Amino acid sequence: MTAEQDQAGYGHDPSDSGRPVALLTGVGRTAGIGAGIAGQLAASGWDIAFTYWTRYDERMAWGAEPGAAEAIRKSLAERGAATVAIEADLAGTDAPARIFDAAQHRLGGVTALVMCHCESAGSGLLDTTVDSFDRHFAVNARATWLLIREYAQRFRGTPGAGRIISLTSDHTVGNLPYGASKGALDRITLAAARELAHLGITANVINPGPVDTGWMSDAVRASGVRQTPLARLGTPQDTANLVEFLCSPRGQWINGQLLMSNGGFA
């Protein structure tokens, strides 16, 4: 095994770790919610597989963060986690199977699936293109379904241990394809709470409200603060704390819920 392979998580023997494995999607930026969740789970005893897609960040206003995947991987390793970073475009229907293949080969079977990925290109009713609409639904809705299906087909964990968590949003005005596809994500995830009951897997959706991970303008930031009783914006750590709880044995009784973890934002 080369040094490069060891750094990337290749060659890890799944049998040599007593830590459960969490697979997180959409962990492409060090300031992102996904990175915050990954760090919290790593610190609480999980090994971490995570996905990212550089080309998405490249076409967003904030741009790609050079070396982000490696920086995140190193941060997780410092918390004791075996890790693997997987670059994948979730618009492709073959991506979920390839992602799970890589995660299982390097870390072992996945116990928790935490979906932080998204396609988000702001447009409204009148200016959304068909291509943009279709890509939003491919990434936010279809990929969520395919990831959950792949997870369920492969799950061999102890009944009651499995976890599915999706991140959603209620943003619709001026962001139509994003909000509509996130609504579909909600329904798909919540269906899993019933349809996967025989496997003892819980499934929940978290709406974290406005979290400034570098995408907000000053005006958006000020508006979010005004609309939140606690007079601050959410942080990745706020969401990470809830995900950690849901993934723990203490969170087993919370199932089939859309949880508003937004500080009272309205």
Give catalytic residues, as residue numbers.
178
| Sequence-ordered alpha helix ranges (H) in the chain | 3-8, 33-43, 54-58, 68-78, 95-107, 130-136, 143-154, 176-195, 218-226, 236-247
Whole-number CA gyration radius for the chain:
18
Three-state secondary structure call for residue 210 = coil
> b/e for 37-63, b at 16 or more Cβ within 10 A?
bbbbbbbbebbbbbbbbeebbeeeeee
Place of tokens 């229907």: 93
Question: What is the C-alpha separation between 116 and 26, in angstroms, rounded?
Answer: 5
> Which of 212, 183, 182, 247 minimizes the C-alpha distance to 37?
247
> Contact 174/220 with Cβ under 8 angstroms?
no
> Contact 22/244 with Cβ under 8 angstroms?
no
> Contact 39/241 with Cβ under 8 angstroms?
no
